[in-house]
Structure 1
Amino acid sequence: MSNSWGIPKDIEDAVLERDKYCVYCGCEFGIERSKKKSWEHIINDIRITTLDNIALCCVGCNASKGNKDLVTWLNSNNAKKRGITSETIADVVKSALNLKNSPIVQ
């Protein structure tokens, strides 16, 4: 799976190793369009290509989140309909929520 987001190869490899399931809903990636892997910037800034901001999520969650900030999306009806809770999100997302002075925690 190649990316067009300027993600460094070492980060790409580490994320592919770490994220075996969607970091938001926890679904297993599959061949169905909505379950396919997609690159995700947890904080919506394509310039931040660090291991704590790059993740893999399913196309369904990526489309649902769009360009919304993480906190807004996690509290949205769309996220709730997808079954996303504090238990379904991966540790990398939980860490992003706990960052002090982060653009997603306002």
Structure 2
Amino acid sequence: MPNRWNIPESLEREVIARDKACVYCSVRFVANGAVRRERASWEHIVNDARIVTRENIALCCVGCNASKGAKDLELWLGSNYCRAWGIAPEAAAPVVRDAIRERPR
């Protein structure tokens, strides 16, 4: 049964096993994390809720997710937030780098 973001349980398990840290800032998740950056949240790398694939669904920290919101990935990666936290495309998790590389131009 899919979760409230329409992510099937099998994909949830796969992503949870893959993403132990934020796919953007690399902060490791802590169960019941006291600060936003330690808590995992579901992320559509490409902001299209219809794309529910292992290539587009990831876990990122609540801080990065709140900052990114509905922004385009590449525009967000150039934001003041990303500069302040040292988030750069080349340092992101492989799933994010693949999404950038595979994006239609």
- Normalised by the size of structure 1, how large is the TM-score? 0.88
Structure 1: stretches of 5+ with no match in the other structure? none
Displacement of 1:87 after TM fit?
Answer: 4.2
- Normalised by the size of structure 2, how large is the TM-score? 0.89
Give the alignment's Cα RMSD to 1 decimal: 1.5
Match of 1:10 in 2: 10
Distance 1:3 1:80 in 2: 33
Residue of structure 2 aligned with 1:38, choices 37, 41, 46? 41
Matched residue count: 101
The secondary structure found in structure 2 opposite 1:56 is strand
Higher helix share: 2
1:41-61 residue CA offsets vs partner (Å, 9 max, x unmatched)? 000011110000000000000
Moved beyond 6 Å, runs of 4+: none
What percentage of residue pairs aligned between the two structures are identical? 51
1:36-81 residue CA offsets vs partner (Å, 9 max, x unmatched)? 0000000001111000000000000001111101000001111111
